[in-house]
């Protein structure tokens, strides 16, 4: 099988051998109603209400949405808005904690005897895709025709530098993962459930191979350690040989893709009835005093996480949700841990400064590195000229924004940033064009 393109990034997996430590519960948490793709959840609590760990505090706001549960016990302080990291206001529920961490007494272990039961359980767990954009998992599993599902691909690539939270899931939560994996195989009936893990994680590969011993419909596939190995389309190609058609979904290539931590959360819910209320988060970067993996409630503010984790060696110049390739720079440390937060990285001034771009030398490395064989330099030219037809021809809309083009560019051109702007411009142009019809 021909391998898709990509880049070899520094791994910097400094915390891979560090078991997660549970941080002290902060004085308050701020839980956003929108933590991924889909409609925001709708609060079902009001100021003054007492809440406990695992209690639902917001219900899904539509089919493509997810329930939200409290990761702390305490009292609802307010329901308000704050500015999110993406520059959009978001509704939040602020909870003043009581430090008791009392579990909600009405939690129940779900009974699963059919695909419908499984889908209900996944919805009730509040789980979303925990390795990327936070797409509601129940929606992903609600396939109309299960004969389409040839493969369930479990993403254990974790190809971004620094991040090791998924690595810890594969080492520390194997039983939870296997509980979910067996149920998914039983009710979605794939030909194979494949764990895709980069070959630079031999301990994870060994652990999962031991776990699936005797499971005839499961296998572990060691993948080349090349970024963006964890990208959905890349992962499907390297594990199954399938190609997701342009504008189509993984299911059109016969695959359902789930992150390893998503799988673990489903397994935990099936065994205990405890929904998604906390996350393992990697804390690292050149401004971090003590890199480590930590367990924190969803909604814990970044400033509280960093402080409880040991603080900074110096004032950070840039802080990211996620990794340095596809992570989002935050405007302040009031931003909370989200369902999909797998890392918080803080960098010093030296590491945060972007290199000065120079003139494109037409070397073609951006094309060589692009996993989808796009032409970033040509896209940049079309974007600057405002040539929408050309942007459409160049397929900028399928760019996964992985950043391989920028990383591999010897002229330090901001190619991935331009791609993002070009995609937005093309979408607006198409909408305006459609509105005139």
Residues 63-106 have pLDDT tens digits of 999 999 999 999 999 999 999 988 889 999 999 999 999 999 99
Residue 377 phi, psi dihedral angles, 5° rounding: -65, -40
Kindly indicate the confidence band of residue 202, based on its pLDDT and cuts at 50, 70 and 90.
very high
**Domain 115-272 in this protein, CATH class:** alpha beta
Domain map (residue ranges) of the chain: 115-272, 365-435
Q: What's the rounded mean pLDDT across residues 254-280? A: 98
- The pLDDT value recorded for residue 436 is 85
- The pLDDT value recorded for residue 323 is 96
239 pLDDT higher than 80: yes
19 pLDDT higher than 90: yes
CA 295 to chain centre: 16
Q: What would the pLDDT profile of 219-235 be if each residue is shown by its tens digit?
A: 999 999 999 999 999 99
**Rounded to whole angstroms, what are the CA distances from 258 to 157, 390, 427, 428?**
11, 35, 28, 31
- The pLDDT value recorded for residue 57 is 98
What is the percent of the chain where pLDDT is above 70? Answer: 99
Q: Which two tokens stand for residue 403?
A: 């950043």
Kindly indicate the confidence band of residue 264, based on its pLDDT and cuts at 50, 70 and 90.
very high
Q: What's the rounded mean pLDDT across residues 143-164? A: 96
Cβ(167)–Cβ(158) under 8 Å?
Answer: yes
Paired with 153 in beta bridges are 194, 257
Which of 312, 307, 309, 320 is CA-nearest to residue 289? Answer: 312
247 pLDDT higher than 90: no
- The pLDDT value recorded for residue 1 is 43
3 pLDDT higher than 80: no
- The pLDDT value recorded for residue 5 is 83
- The pLDDT value recorded for residue 4 is 61
Cβ(53)–Cβ(72) under 8 Å?
Answer: yes
How would DSSP label each residue in 357-424? P-------HHHHH-TT---HHHHHHHHHHT-HHHHHHTTGGG-----HHHHH-TT---HHHHHHHHHH
Kindly indicate the confidence band of residue 342, based on its pLDDT and cuts at 50, 70 and 90.
very high
Q: What's the rounded mean pLDDT across residues 363-385? A: 96
What mean pLDDT, rounded, does the chain reach?
Answer: 96
């Amino acid at each position: 099988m021909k391998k898709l393109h990509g880049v070899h990034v520094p791994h910097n997996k400094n915390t891979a051998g560090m078991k997660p430590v549970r941080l002290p519960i902060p004085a308050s948490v701020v839980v956003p109603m929108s933590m991924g793709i889909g409609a925001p959840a709708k609060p079902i609590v009001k100021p003054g209400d007492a809440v406990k760990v695992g209690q639902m505090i917001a219900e899904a706001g539509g089919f493509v949405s997810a329930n939200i549960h409290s990761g702390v016990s305490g009292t609802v302080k307010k329901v308000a808005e704050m500015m999110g990291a993406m520059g959009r206001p978001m509704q939040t529920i602020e909870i003043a904690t009581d430090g008791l961490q009392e579990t909600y007494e009405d939690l129940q272990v779900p009974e699963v005897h059919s695909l419908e039961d499984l889908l209900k359980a996944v919805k009730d767990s509040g789980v979303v895709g925990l390795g990327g954009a936070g797409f509601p998992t129940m929606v992903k599993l609600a396939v109309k025709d299960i004969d389409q599902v040839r493969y369930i691909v479990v993403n254990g690539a974790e190809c971004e530098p620094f991040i090791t939270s998924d690595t810890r899931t594969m080492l520390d939560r194997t039983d939870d993962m296997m509980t979910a994996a067996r149920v998914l195989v039983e009710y979605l009936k794939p030909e194979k459930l494949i764990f895709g893990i980069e070959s630079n994680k031999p301990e994870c590969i060994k652990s999962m191979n031991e776990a699936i011993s005797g499971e005839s419909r499961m296998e572990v596939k060691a993948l080349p350690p090349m970024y963006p190995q964890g990208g959905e389309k890349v992962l499907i190609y390297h594990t199954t040989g399938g190609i997701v058609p342009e504008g189509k979904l993984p299911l059109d290539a016969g695959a359902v893709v789930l992150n390893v931590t998503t799988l673990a959360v489903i397994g935990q819910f099936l065994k205990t009835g405890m929904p998604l209320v906390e996350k393992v988060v990697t804390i690292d970067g050149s401004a971090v005093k003590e890199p480590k993996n930590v367990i924190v409630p969803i909604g814990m503010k970044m400033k509280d996480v960093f402080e409880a984790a040991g603080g900074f060696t110096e004032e950070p110049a840039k802080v990211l949700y996620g990794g340095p390739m596809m992570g989002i720079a935050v405007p302040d440390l009031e931003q909370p841990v989200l369902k999909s937060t797998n890392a918080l990285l803080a960098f010093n001034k030296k590491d945060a400064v972007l290199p000065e771009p120079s003139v494109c030398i037409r070397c073609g490395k951006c094309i060589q590195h692009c996993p989808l064989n796009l032409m970033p330099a040509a896209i940049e030219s079309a974007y600057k000229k405002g040539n929408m037809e050309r942007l459409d021809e160049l397929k900028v809309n399928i760019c996964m924004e992985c950043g391989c083009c920028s990383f591999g560019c010897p002229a330090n051109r901001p190619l991935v940033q331009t791609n993002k702007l070009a995609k937005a411009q093309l979408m607006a142009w198409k909408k305006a064009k459609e509105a005139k019809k």
